[in-house]
Structure 1
Amino acid sequence: MKNILLAALFMFLGTGSMSSQETVTLTIEVAITKHNKGSILLALYNSSETYMKKTYKASKQEVIDKKAVITFQNIEKGTYAFSMFHDVNDNKKM
């Protein structure tokens, strides 16, 4: 059986008034407990209406030393959600 990691987490970046010109860097570190191989595929969403329907940004990061670090730079300050899975054999299938 494939070892699949699925997660969704709502991220809050800052508080107060939000300017459309303010940008931030979002870094997500994923700890892998079982397999030290494959990749993490992560989709970032910027709206609850588009969650799991339309990706805002996406990234694929190789698992190294039982972790993967995904960084999104210059994204608008706001609220985000993400979904991800651990593709142990890098075949892009769950």
Structure 2
Amino acid sequence: MIKKNLFVLFVISLMSTGVFAQHNVSLNIDGVASEQGNICFAVYNDEGSFLKFDKVYKSGSEKALKGKTSFDITDLPEGDYAIAIFHDANGNKNLDTNMLGIPKEQIAFSKGKMKMFGPPKYKECVFTVNSNMEMNISLN
């Protein structure tokens, strides 16, 4: 009985020391063209889901502020992530593109940059969360 109680106390102490910690990523989005619409974000946690709308790990939006918009993505467990962001200026909750699929609205990624013929790969955008962190991202 004493061993069982010690085991329970050990598990509780591990949980309270952060083994199952959740972290926040504070984003500072520079280059926001206007206060119209929202800054939308999508967080991906594996290469196979990257940029697939039906496989987003976490998403949300914040009211756009001209110049710089800041917000937090909360409750991320330790791990690798990539973020895609766009300025939904017209508020239709979609990334508007032209006939060729080129975005009409400002976009950005964690670390990676748009290429001549498409978005960056997951491995170019990935970053590791193991504590609370801050990230600066510039919209294109």
Distance 1:49-1:76 versus aligned 2 partners, 3 A rule: same
* Structure 1: runs of 5 or more not aligned: 1-18
CA contact (8 A) 1:24 1:75 kept: yes
Normalising by structure 1, what TM-score? 0.68
Q: 1:64 Cα shift?
A: 2.0
CA distance in 2, matches of 1:20, 1:49: 26
How many residues are paired up?
A: 76
* Structure 2: runs of 5 or more not aligned: 1-17, 97-140
Normalising by structure 2, what TM-score? 0.48
Q: How does 1:67-86 map to 2 (within 5 A)?
A: 67-86=68-87
Q: How does 1:28-47 map to 2 (within 5 A)?
A: 28-47=27-46
Cα RMSD (Å): 1.9
RCO higher in 1 or 2 (8 Å CA, sep ≥ 6)?
1
Provide the residue aligned with 1:11 in structure 2: none
**In the TM superposition, what whole-angstrom CA distance separates every residue of 1:23-56 from its partner, at most 9, and x where no partner exists?**
2111111113432322111100111121112100
**Structure with the larger helix share:** 2
Q: 1:82 Cα shift?
A: 1.0
Q: How does 1:47-66 map to 2 (within 5 A)?
A: 47-53=46-52, 54-66=55-67
Instruction: Give the SS at the match of 1:28.
Output: strand
Distance 1:64-1:26 versus aligned 2 partners, 3 A rule: same
Provide runs of 4+ in structure 1 moved above 4 Å: none
Tell me the percent identity.
25
**Greater C-alpha radius of gyration:** 2
**Structure with the larger strand share:** 1
CA distance in 2, matches of 1:90, 1:21: 36
